[in-house]
Structures are given as structure tokens and as C-alpha cells.
């Protein structure tokens, strides 16, 4: 077993790399191979009676006393990669998967039912299983796994992965209600973890991390978005509600969150075809992520958060130290000193910056005139607005609008 010593130490690292890059399960098995059914989340054990996870091609590889790596395509149209990391009568091995090949068509669950005589299993149980499978480029996954093995098991430099295709095999489904129910719970739990992880990263505003978990969630819902207009609207409404609900529990002001929710609600209602819906989940997640990033005030004191929120919600109105202090029922000198100390700039400077930022958003997203933008952000002297804009943007509002054309 000495061959597997280094690889066992490195396994947590290998698992972390493959799980992060491909969102797949990576499991180490040692004799007596307990919980072997985790290889495919218990799917084959559910649909076949007394399923044998050892195939003659694999067992012959074990008896040869050589390290082996297999790419296994199941007759149920998903893949596992098995790599033996020690030799002997009962070798250790690493299982990667199950996964779907992104270059293949989505499995036809009705045809699978017919081929394997699965009369008593629900269509939605099959569909949810295949939608939960990570969608990967098999070649990339195999190559990455193989490279990692070579780093810790030099013998793998001379080993080429062997492809085992069992897609033509057919079996008869033997119903077992307990197994079907357990499997359904497994899929539901995996989906819940997927959603929870996505929402947790969304609230951080970490765009790169959000994209990683967003892709995993969208891979699951993709067939639904492409199915029909009604299904696409339903999924997008669900995603919009999830994102809104999560941000309402953070330090982002509810006004901004509900405003974004309302905006997306209107866009979803105006969809005319499923094709229009495909890219919207990506844009939606990005917008909510930016909102969390730009408006998360958790690092500030309660007073500073109150000042920032008041300014944000009343940009078009009169904003002076005396007005804000009066609204917060605080001494003006105390408010001014507290804000300056925590933010590193005066309240007046902050208000100016926020008004110019708001005018930039208007110019970038609407065809409003310079005067209309100035009035919208609470500056009614056009000359003063122009000077302030040039101070912060290094050009006049008119020049900026010309650059956008």
C-alpha cells in the first residue's frame, strides 16, 4: 500500500481542485468499499436490483496488479472516472463523477425509461437527476485528473486512460419505493445546497465566486429555460425572488433591493420567447452581485449607514448637514465629525460624489438632457452642476454625452 501513501496525503488538494473546477464529486474508496453506491448518488442501485459495481474489464485490471484509469460511460448516459492508486488484492481507488458530457445531447429520459423498462419511476425524478449532474468537457476533466495523478504517482506518466462504453447495455427496472424516495431526497438536498451556496456568495458581492456557483445553478435550470416561455418566466421569477430575499437579509438598503426586484419583474413579464430568456439569469445574478458589492454597508457604524442610506434615497431633494442631522435627530457637529472620521471625507464631499455618480448612471442608461440629469440629482444650478461634474469626471456633461454616442 506504500504506493498510495503520497497520493492519500495529496487527495484533499486533488479533490479541492476538481470540485472547484468541474463541480464534481471526488471520493476515495478503500476496502471493503463501504458506501460504494455514492459513485453515482445511488442512482443505479435505485433502478436495478443487486447492481454490481465491478465490471469484468475493471476487475481484470485489478488482478493485473497494475495501476489503471478508466473513463466509464454508463448505459444510463453519464460518466464516471475511476483511478486505482494502489495495487494488490483490494486496491484503493478514486472516483470522479457522475458527470454529463457538455458536448453530448441532453439524455432523453423517456427513451431511457423505455430502454431500461422503468415503468414505475417518475419522469421528474429522472429529469432532476440529469439536470443535477455537472456538465463538463470530459476530455478536460480526464486530462486535469490525469495530470494531478502524475504529480503524486509518477507511474501514471506511463498510463493512458482506458475508455469503457456500456451505453448499449439494457436492464430491467426493479421498483423499490424506499430506494426511490431516498434518491429523491438526495437530489432535493443537492439542489438545496446548490441554491444556498449561490445565495451565500451572492451576498458577499464577490463576482468571480458568484459566477462559479451561478454556473452550477444555471446548468441545472437550463433545460427549463429552454423548454417554454411559461417555464422560462417561472424559473426567472423564482431566481429573482431568491436573490431579492437574500439581499433583504443583508445591510443593503431594502429600497435598492426592491427596486432591482421590481425592475427584473417587469423585464420577465415582457419576455416574448424562451430564446430571449437564456442570458437573463447571468445578467440578473451580475446585477444583484453588484448591488451587494456597492451597497453593502456592514463595515460601517449604524449612524454612518443611516446617513449613507438617507443620502442615497433623497438625492433629488435638499441635502445639507442641518437637514440630515434633523432627520436623524442628531447634533450637526457630531454628525459631521463622526462621518468625516469614519469615511475619510466630509459629508458635503460625499453628497457631491453621489450626485455625480447618479448623473453618470442617468447618462449611461437614458437619453436625458444635461438639465434633466442635474435636476434629477438635486442640483438646480446648471453652471454649478457642470463645474462639479468636470471636477469629478474631468470633462463637462455635454462632452461626456458626446463620448457615449
The string of pLDDT tens digits covering residues 117-142 is 455 555 566 677 777 788 888 999 99
2 pLDDT tier (thresholds 50, 70, 90): very low
CA dihedral 191, 192, 195, 197 (to 10 degrees): -110
**Other C-beta atoms lying within 10 Å of the C-beta of residue 86:** 18
- Any idea what the Cα angle at residue 301 is, between residues 299 and 304, rounded to 5°? 105
Q: What is the mean pLDDT of the chain?
A: 79
Cell numbers describing residue 129? 437527476
Residue 35: what pLDDT? Answer: 78
Residue 335: what pLDDT? Answer: 92
DSSP class of residue 89 equals S
Most confident segment among 143-152, 162-171, 250-259: 143-152
Cell numbers describing residue 165? 462504453
Provide the CA 376 distance to its chain's centre, in angstroms: 36
How many residues appear in the chain? 405
Alpha carbons 313 and 323: distance in angstroms, whole number: 14
pLDDT at residue 111 tops 80: no
Residue 176: what pLDDT? Answer: 58
In percent, the amount of the chain with pLDDT more than 90 equals 23
Domains along the sequence of the chain with CATH:
3-173 (no CATH), 181-295 (no CATH), 302-404 (1.10.10.60)
Residue 88: what pLDDT? Answer: 78
Phi, psi of 84 (to 5 degrees): -80, 130
291 pLDDT tier (thresholds 50, 70, 90): confident
95 pLDDT tier (thresholds 50, 70, 90): very high
> Is 172 or 354 the better-scoring residue by pLDDT?
354
Residue 369: what pLDDT? Answer: 92
pLDDT digits (tens, 9 = 90+) for 342-378: 888 899 999 999 899 889 888 887 889 999 999 999 9
pLDDT at residue 115 tops 60: no
**Start-to-end C-alpha separation, the chain:** 69
- Any idea what the Cα angle at residue 179 is, between residues 116 and 43, rounded to 5°? 50
**Of 26-35, 96-105, 176-185, which range is least confident?**
176-185
Residue 114: what pLDDT? Answer: 57
Amino acid at each position: 500500500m506504500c504506493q498510495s501513501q503520497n497520493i492519500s496525503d495529496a487527495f484533499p488538494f486533488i479533490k479541492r481542485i476538481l470540485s472547484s473546477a468541474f463541480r464534481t464529486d471526488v471520493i476515495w474508496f478503500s476496502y471493503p468499499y463501504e458506501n460504494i453506491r455514492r459513485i453515482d448518488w445511488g442512482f443505479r442501485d435505485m433502478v436495478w436490483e443487486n447492481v454490481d459495481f465491478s465490471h469484468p474489464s475493471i476487475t481484470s485490471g485489478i488482478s493485473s496488479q497494475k495501476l489503471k484509469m478508466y473513463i466509464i460511460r454508463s448505459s444510463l448516459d453519464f460518466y464516471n472516472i475511476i483511478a486505482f492508486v494502489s495495487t494488490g488484492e483490494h486496491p484503493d481507488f478514486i472516483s470522479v463523477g457522475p458527470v454529463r458530457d457538455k458536448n453530448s445531447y441532453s439524455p432523453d429520459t423517456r427513451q431511457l425509461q423505455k430502454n431500461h423498462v422503468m415503468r414505475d419511476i417518475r419522469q421528474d425524478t429522472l429529469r432532476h437527476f440529469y439536470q443535477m449532474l455537472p456538465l463538463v468537457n470530459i476530455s478536460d476533466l480526464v486530462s486535469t485528473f490525469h495530470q494531478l495523478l502524475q504529480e503524486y504517482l509518477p507511474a501514471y506518466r506511463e498510463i493512458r486512460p482506458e475508455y469503457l462504453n456500456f451505453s448499449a447495455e439494457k436492464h430491467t427496472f426493479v421498483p423499490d419505493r424506499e430506494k426511490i424516495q431516498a434518491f429523491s431526497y438526495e437530489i432535493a438536498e443537492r439542489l438545496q445546497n446548490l441554491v444556498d451556496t449561490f445565495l451565500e456568495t451572492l451576498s458577499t458581492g464577490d463576482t468571480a465566486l458568484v459566477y462559479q456557483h451561478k454556473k452550477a445553478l444555471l446548468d441545472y435550470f437550463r433545460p427549463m429555460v429552454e423548454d417554454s416561455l411559461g417555464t422560462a418566466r417561472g424559473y426567472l421569477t423564482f431566481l429573482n425572488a431568491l436573490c431579492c430575499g437574500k439581499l433583504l437579509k443583508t445591510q443593503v438598503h431594502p429600497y435598492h433591493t426592491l427596486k432591482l426586484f421590481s425592475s427584473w419583474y417587469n423585464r420577465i413579464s415582457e419576455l416574448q420567447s424562451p430564446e430571449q430568456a437564456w442570458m437573463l439569469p447571468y445578467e440578473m445574478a451580475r446585477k444583484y452581485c453588484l448591488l451587494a458589492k456597492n451597497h453593502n454597508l456592514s463595515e460601517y457604524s449604524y449612524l454612518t449607514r443611516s446617513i449613507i442610506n438617507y443620502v442615497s434615497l433623497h438625492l433629488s431633494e435638499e441635502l445639507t448637514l442641518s437637514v440630515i442631522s434633523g432627520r436623524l435627530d442628531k447634533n450637526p457637529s457630531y454628525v459631521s465629525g463622526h462621518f468625516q472620521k469614519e469615511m475619510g471625507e466630509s459629508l458635503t464631499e460625499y453628497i457631491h460624489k453621489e450626485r455625480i455618480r447618479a448623473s453618470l448612471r442617468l447618462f449611461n442608461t437614458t437619453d436625458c438632457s444635461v438639465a434633466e440629469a442635474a435636476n434629477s440629482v438635486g442640483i438646480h444650478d446648471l453652471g454649478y452642476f457642470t463645474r462639479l461634474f468636470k471636477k469629478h469626471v474631468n470633462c463637462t456633461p455635454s462632452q461626456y454625452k458626446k463620448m457615449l454616442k
